[in-house]
Amino acid sequence: MNSKTKFKQVVILAGDIIILYFSLYITLLLRYWEIPAGHVWQNHFGPFSVIFVVWILIFYIARLYDLHSAVNNVKFFQLAFKSIGIAGLLSIAFFYLNPQIGVAPKTNLLIYVLIFATLFSLWRQTYNWLLKSHLPKNNIAIFGLNKMVKELAAVLMEKPHLGYKVSFIVDTGNNEIENYHNIPIIKTLDNLKNLIAADKISTIILTANPYESKDLREILFNCLSLKINYINLPNFYENITGRVLIEVINKMWFLENLSEGNKNWFDIFKRAYDVILALIILILTIIFWPLIGLFIKLESKGTIIFKQMRVGKNNKQFKIYKFRTMANTHNNFSPTINNDKRITKLGSFLRKTRIDEIPQIINILKGEMSFVGPRPERPELIKGLEDKIPFYRERMLVKPGVTGWDQISGEYHSPSPEDSIKKLQYDLFYIKNRSIYLDLSIILKTIATVLSRKGV
């Protein structure tokens, strides 16, 4: 994530915090028909500050701070109002479970939620409108034209609030098109410096290596005085999409980007919270395991716990544990597909709520898995995919996880080679960028997926 993206998210967060407190002020003003006196504001400020932390956390889990989803469309505002409703209900519970606070704002909360929802909608619409229409864009030029460039250009055009505008694409190859979705295609390198200056280009995206082209090196050198940022296509694509371009990386990419020696302290901390969290979940859920097992048995014959060989870190095989969600009758145990008829009614519920994956805490305690990491695949699938997808085995450089960067992408990926490439793109992004912050973000967004029952 680049600094400008972080800044935009900080601005959104700061705006939400201002709206939270301003809505409280307006609520008290309307409730008592006078400017809130010092003691009235003070009595409400402390307790509401506590619940505002919960509100912000709910908004984060709901991805209301994700620039890719925080756009002015029906889906976003449906999600926003749903989050506000959940936050409002939790606020009511907080106040009535803590009568010692001395504030029981039954009417105030209703007024507050209505005011906040209105101001929040106006604030977010205004912010995205400013981003799209009035705030300065980062004008970029792309040197080279290929499939990845077209995909990147389409993403930037669909999401102008990200703050990038492709001014032109330089392509001296044999492509005959003069523009791509109204983006001019420059066919010659002549006078390019003046064009870059005239369009106020701030960043140039390179699809080719400057070492391989004398003319390209000369042009880039002549543009040094323009104070332009140069970034290669894979890195820029990664920042925008959260995926690593498999098509353009090589072994040097792994040597330059995967400094595993620097991750020792992170791995120690990760193992510690894996064990602690697994033990907590085991203690809280173990009493329900017999009941879940009984329901599984009543619906279909077979074992309660499903076991299957998977491949973990450094290609070490292990048995993964899950609550069984499929009928054994007429089951060839091939990979799951969308709307798979082998999944039982109870199994469908267990999958959507991720309850079927609770037994995997045994794998975590044994050190075979982590809570966050690439999903473990079956050995026979890996063998076939390795021959078709470059660097597929490198996704096993870290422990597999119960959830991961791919699982929260919002896309369903089958075991097909095409979808497996996308999964690998997400997995390599996680392996390269893994951190406590990224792990926490994935866990929180997984909770949002479970609450919305969008499990797979």
- Whether the CB-CB separation of 374 and 398 falls below 8 Å is answered with yes
- Whether the CB-CB separation of 380 and 311 falls below 8 Å is answered with no
Distance CA 372, CA 405 (A): 8
Which residue type is seen at 3? S
- Whether the CB-CB separation of 364 and 371 falls below 8 Å is answered with yes
Q: Which residue has the tokens 């909770």?
A: 447
Strands (E), 238-304: none
Q: How far apart are the first and last CA of the chain?
A: 27
pTM: 0.72
CB neighbour list of residue 400: distance below 8 Å, 6 or more residues apart: 310, 311, 312, 313, 368, 369, 370, 373, 374, 375, 376
Which residue type is seen at 392? Y
Q: What is the pLDDT of residue 10?
A: 83
- Which ranges in 33-163 belong to alpha helices (H)? 38-61, 74-97, 106-129, 147-158
Which residue type is seen at 38? G
Please report how many Cα atoms fall inside a 13 Å half-sphere around the Cα of residue 98, on the Cβ side: 13
Distance CA 36, CA 29 (A): 6
Distance CA 266, CA 396 (A): 17
Q: Going residue by residue through the chain (456 aa), what tens digit of pLDDT does each one get?
A: 455 667 777 888 898 999 998 888 888 787 766 676 666 677 777 788 888 998 898 888 777 877 666 555 566 777 788 888 888 888 888 877 777 665 556 667 778 888 888 888 888 888 777 766 555 568 888 888 888 888 888 888 877 767 788 888 888 776 667 777 788 888 877 788 888 888 888 888 888 766 667 777 787 788 888 888 888 888 888 888 888 888 778 888 888 888 767 788 888 999 999 999 999 999 999 999 999 999 999 988 889 999 999 999 999 999 999 999 888 777 777 777 677 778 888 988 898 888 999 999 999 999 999 999 999 999 988 888 888 888 898 899 999 999 999 888 777 677 777 888 889 999 999 999 888 888 888 887 787 767 665 544
Q: Hey, what domains does the chain have and what are their CATH numbers?
A: 3-134 (no CATH), 138-241 (3.40.50.720), 260-451 (no CATH)
At residue 320, the 3 state secondary structure works out as: strand
Distance CA 414, CA 338 (A): 8
